[in-house]
Amino acid sequence: MQGKRVLVGISGGIAAYKVCEVISTLAKQGVAVRAILTDSAQAFITPLTISTLCRHAAYTDASFWQAHDRPLHIELGEWAELLVLAPLTANTLAKLVYGMADNLLTNTVLASTCPVLLAPAMNTDMWEQVPVQRNWQTVQTQPRMHTLAPGSGILACDRVGTGRMAEPVAMLAQIESLLYTSGQRDLVGKHLLISAGGTREFLDPVRFLGNPSTGKMGIALAQAALHRGATVTLVHGVLDTSIVALEGVQTLAVTSAAEMQQTLLKCFPNADWTIMAAAVADVKPASYSSEKLPKRSLPSSLPLAPVPDIVAELGALKQPHQKLIGFAAQTGDIVTPALEKLKQKKLDAIAANPIDQPNSGFGSDSNQAILLDHRGRKHVIAPCSKLHMAHQLLAFIHAI
């Protein structure tokens, strides 16, 4: 993200306050951020606030009419690698559809060629009006336009319904994706099946064998695939409850390895690529008690039974048009066991993932890996965000 250039266009809506977090986070990550406020936006948030967060003067329509070496909208349009319009009002949406340019923001959109991320926000009744919905569908036919549909909940007007602007965490994820891909949708038409999170194998209703997986890597893979145009199904075990919901992704929750096996086998025939990022148990208690065992009744040694080897089963079922990718979470030598797993389970590629390195593996927001494929290719992913790693993995698979 360091040195990337993002131009944020703020229209008049109460959701403008959410944009402050987006701008602040981007600036802290080393992104060069510039912002344009429409006249109505300034009724909700001041240019001083935005300029302070950007570490650069904010632009308004007053700036538009001042003398510049080059026309300001041309300069800004050429400068930006990504435009983010948030909140996008019904008024600005209509202008985008009809190519209108009556202020600095809309002139800059027309003077740019980079991807544009749209995050609308408005009252539910406004959002559901036929002209607004028609404009929303129309603007999405423009190849440059990428969208974050509004969510549902209680609005500033106390109405409960659709119209809430996407949360900053979702906006930041899509901004990172767009800066990586430059807006390329290279997975359109692909159906990706992704597993995530840890499974739990219960001894009784309150005790289980598990692992520290939070599902963050699988979530990042689902986000990256969705941002690149894929249809995504996410089969997940236990996830970090702080992880944002994935709008546009089909999510199927499971608990045990057996439930994950059943769900994945059902979904697998329709998948073009299957990525097994879940931390699935290897064993389970040999017996299960439907009632909580008293402490005095707990066995001094716990008999274990194997659970299904889901990856091997999918490898045996894989068709020529399908790709199956695994993960190998390892300590020490990560390559040798990963290569063995790649061959034994008939994988197309595998991510050898060190879990004994700082800021990588379970629960971390960052990760690193060595990618290996069945033809002997190798790609090293240096420590980076899990979303960045997800994009590198998807690019690696695409090249197979």
31-63 pLDDT, tens digit per residue, is 999 999 999 999 999 999 999 999 999 999 999
* CA quadruple 358, 363, 365, 368: dihedral, nearest 10: 50
Locate 340 and state its tokens: 């063995």
CA distance linking residue 371 with residue 292, whole number of Å: 43
Flag whether 282 is marked binding: yes
Least confident interval from 67-76, 150-159, 182-191, 285-294: 150-159
pLDDT at 79 over 60: yes
Tell me the Ramachandran region of residue 229: left when phi exceeds 0, alpha when psi lies from -120 to 50, beta otherwise: left
Domains of the chain, start order? 5-181 (3.40.50.1950), 191-398 (3.40.50.10300)
Is position 272 annotated in a ligand binding site?
Answer: no
For residue 362, the model assigns a pLDDT of 86
Residue 244 scores a pLDDT above 70: no
Q: What is the pLDDT of residue 152?
A: 86
pLDDT of 360: 84
* For residue 245, pLDDT beyond 70: no
Tell me what the pLDDT averaged over the chain comes to: 93
Q: How confident is the model at residue 330 (pLDDT cuts 50, 70, 90)?
A: confident
The sign one gets for the Cα dihedral 147, 153, 159, 161 is positive
Evaluate if residue 242 carries a pLDDT over 70.
no
pLDDT of 2 over the 90 cut: no
The percent of residues in the chain predicted with pLDDT above 70, rounded, is 99
pLDDT tier, 357 (very low <50, low <70, confident <90, very high otherwise): confident
Average pLDDT over residues 178-188: 95
Q: What's the CA gap between 328 and 147, in Å, rounded?
A: 34
| 320 labeled part of a ligand binding site | no
Q: Is the pLDDT of residue 247 over 60?
A: yes
Q: Which of 55, 160, 37, 5 is nearest to 103 (CA)?
A: 37
pLDDT of residue 24: 97
Can you give the pLDDT at residue 1? Answer: 81
Question: 307: annotated binding-site residue?
Answer: no
Q: Is the pLDDT of residue 239 over 90?
A: no
What residue spans of 271-334 are helical by DSSP H? 310-317
The verdict on whether residue 158 carries a ligand-binding annotation is: no
Residue 309 is assigned to a ligand binding site: yes
Per-residue confidence (pLDDT) for residue 386, from 0 to 100? 94
157 belongs to the catalytic site: yes
pLDDT at 226: 96
Whether residue 299 has a cis bond before it, omega within 30° of 0? no
Q: Report residue 91 as tokens.
A: 């008024």
366-373/378-385 β-pairing: antiparallel
Annotated catalytic residue within 54, 157, 267, 384: 157
Tell whether residue 318 is among the known ligand binding residues: no
For 77-102, letters b (16+ CB in 10 Å) and e give: beebbbbbbbbbbbebbbbbbeeeee
Model pLDDT, residue 355: 87
